[in-house]
Structure formats: structure tokens, C-alpha cells
């Protein structure tokens, strides 16, 4: 199955105007495109709550599937492939109290090969990334649980860890950005090669450009880009930061875009 190719105007929605540009788009129709997408040089990986699917990027052909048959997994979320392993944020959403872990899979077989548990900690883990040797994990909170937890989505934060999971820092999101999430929270995130961070919400077809502050505790929201995917987990091509991936849950699609110069 060959991906569909389109050329779509690239729109800027936020306060900083960079002029008009374009991106090209490829669409893969994927049943497991429910939570996120991860990528390597040759494959795309669809991530759903308790399932993974691997597809060839060149053809869109299904290569391998995995389904949890043990009841161990509850809510797999955003994933990233690093050092030949697929790392996925995982939580017990929508159960309370919130508990989270990082689950590790073999990209070749899609079988689980490792895990790091946070237990009941900072919130509900939604995405994981690595930058400059440190792990970054986003922990979400949600308006729907405020009555039980006393915390709304303004408690969402991004936490930095050492390679052996010792916490070394944390940042909250700007209140104006939290408002874009409605009653939900930050669902996806990915680092580009230049260190720039991109975030998504839960539903809106928007990509938020983020920088770390020199001082203080809040991330800086630099810009908002209109994209054809609907929030959720995103990925950036490991060899070309102009190529990004997201999912469209409403039609079960993985969407690849390439920003044009």
C-alpha cells in the first residue's frame, strides 16, 4: 500500500509570524494509530493503549504486530526509538491514583524487553524524550480528576532525569498554552536535532514550538504551527528534522509531513 502524497499550505497560528511556507504530506492508514507514532529510518510504529504495529515507510506495508495478552499494559502513550530500543510512556489512565512507567520494546519483534516504574509520582506519563544525555518525561494532570486529586491540568509538568532516573529539573507549561488543551493536557512531545522542543495537546491540529528558559520554572511558548494531525504523540525523523509524524485518531492514520524550505 503506497502512502498518499499531498501538498498543503503551512499556516502559522500564533503570535510570531514567520511568513508563508508549505509542507508535503504522506498518509498511512493504520488501525493502531490511537495514541502515538514512533519512527526510525525504515519504519513507522503505531502505538495504541495495548498494541503496537510496525509499517515500512517506503510502502506502508504492515511488517509486524504486537498485542498485550497479559493485562500488564493499560495506556501506552508516546514513544521514541533510541539506541535500537522503543521507549514508550505508560500510565494507568484513567484510573486513580495516577501511576506511570516507561516501557521498553524491541523494535524488531515489538516484544517488551524492559521497564522503569515511577509508581505513584508526579502525574500521568504521556511522552518521553532524550536530549543532551538526559531523559525528559511529561506528566499530565486533567480537569476531569480535579475533584478527586485537587489538581487540574495546570499541574502538568516536564521533568528531567539522569540516565539512571535521578530527577535533575522540572518545568511547568505556560498558562496560556494550558488553556489550548481545554480540559485535557500535553499529550506529545519531541526534540529536534537543534534542541528545539515541539509539543502537542490532545485534540487540536496544532504543534507548539517550545524553548527552555534561562531562568525560572516555566517553559517558553514561542510559536504555534497548524498541522494535519490531531494532537497526541508525535515523532521527528532521526535523520531529517524537517520530517515530522503525527496521528489522526478520527480516521486511524499516521501522517508524515515534510516542511519545505
How far apart, in whole angstroms, are the C-alpha atoms of residue 163 and residue 31? 34
Residue 139 to residue 118: CA distance in whole angstroms: 11
Strand partners, 259: 23
**pLDDT of amino acid 6:** 34
What's the whole-model pTM score? 0.91
254 Cβ contact list (under 8 Å, min separation 6):
27, 28, 30, 33, 37, 44, 46, 55, 245, 246, 247
Q: Please list the residues that pair with 37 across neighbouring strands.
A: 46
Q: Before 60, cis peptide (omega within 30)?
A: no
pLDDT of 73 > 80? The answer is yes
Residue 161 has pLDDT above 60, yes or no: yes
Residue range 203-225, pLDDT digits in tens: 999 999 999 999 999 999 999 99
Buried b (16+ CB within 10 A) or exposed e, 50-77: bbbbbbebeebebeeebebeeeebbbbb
Evaluate if residue 35 carries a pLDDT over 80.
yes
pLDDT band at 261 (very low <50, low <70, confident <90, very high): low
Looking at residue 16, its pLDDT comes to 30
Given this model, what pLDDT does residue 260 score?
Answer: 84
Q: Please report the DSSP string for 83-134 in residue order.
A: TTEEEEEEE-TTSSS--EEEEEE-TTT--EEEEEEEES-SSEEEEEEEETTE
Question: Confidence class of residue 127 from pLDDT cuts 50, 70 and 90?
Answer: very high
Percent of the chain with pLDDT over 70: 92
Q: What pLDDT, in 10s, does the model give residues 76-85?
A: 999 999 999 9
What's the pLDDT score for residue 8? 34
> Of 204 and 2, which is predicted with more confidence?
204
State the pLDDT confidence band at 15, using cuts at 50, 70 and 90. Answer: very low
Q: Check: CB of residue 186 under 8 Å from CB of residue 215.
A: no
For residue 9, pLDDT beyond 60 = no
Q: Across the beta sheet with 167-172, what order do the strands follow?
A: 124-131, 134-140, 157-161, 167-172
Amino acid at each position: 500500500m503506497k502512502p498518499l502524497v499531498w501538498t498543503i499550505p503551512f499556516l502559522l497560528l500564533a503570535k510570531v509570524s514567520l511568513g508563508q511556507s508549505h509542507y508535503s504530506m504522506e498518509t498511512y492508514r493504520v488501525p493502531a494509530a490511537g495514541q502515538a507514532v514512533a519512527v526510525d529510518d525504515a519504519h513507522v510504529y503505531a502505538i495504541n493503549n495495548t498494541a503496537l504495529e510496525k509499517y515500512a515507510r517506503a510502502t506502508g506495508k504492515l511488517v509486524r504486530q504486537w498485542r498485550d495478552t497479559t493485562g500488564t499494559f493499560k495506556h501506552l502513550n508516546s514513544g521514541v526509538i533510541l539506541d535500537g530500543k522503543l521507549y514508550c510512556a505508560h500510565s494507568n489512565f484513567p484510573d486513580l491514583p495516577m501511576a506511570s512507567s516507561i516501557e521498553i520494546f524491541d523494535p524488531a519483534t515489538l516484544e517488551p524487553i524492559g521497564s522503569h516504574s515511577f509508581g505513584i509520582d508526579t502525574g500521568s506519563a504521556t511522552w518521553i524524550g532524550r536530549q543532551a544525555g538526559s531523559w525528559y518525561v511529561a506528566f499530565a494532570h486533567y480537569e476531569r480528576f480535579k475533584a478527586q486529586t485537587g489538581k487540574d491540568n495546570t499541574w502538568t509538568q516536564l521533568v528531567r532525569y539522569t540516565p539512571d532516573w535521578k530527577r535533575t529539573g522540572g518545568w511547568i507549561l505556560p498558562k496560556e498554552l494550558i488553556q489550548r488543551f481545554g480540559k485535557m493536557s500535553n499529550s506529545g512531545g519531541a526534540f529536534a536535532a537543534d534542541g528545539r522542543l515541539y509539543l502537542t495537546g490532545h485534540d487540536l491540529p496544532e504543534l507548539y514550538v517550545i524553548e527552555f528558559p534561562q531562568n525560572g520554572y516555566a517553559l517558553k511558548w514561542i510559536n504555534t504551527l497548524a498541522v494535519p494531525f490531531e494532537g497526541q504523540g508525535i515523532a521527528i525523523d532521526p535523520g531529517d528534522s524537517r520530517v515530522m509524524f503525527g496521528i489522526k485518531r478520527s480516521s486511524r492514520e499516521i501522517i508524515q509531513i515534510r516542511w519545505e524550505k
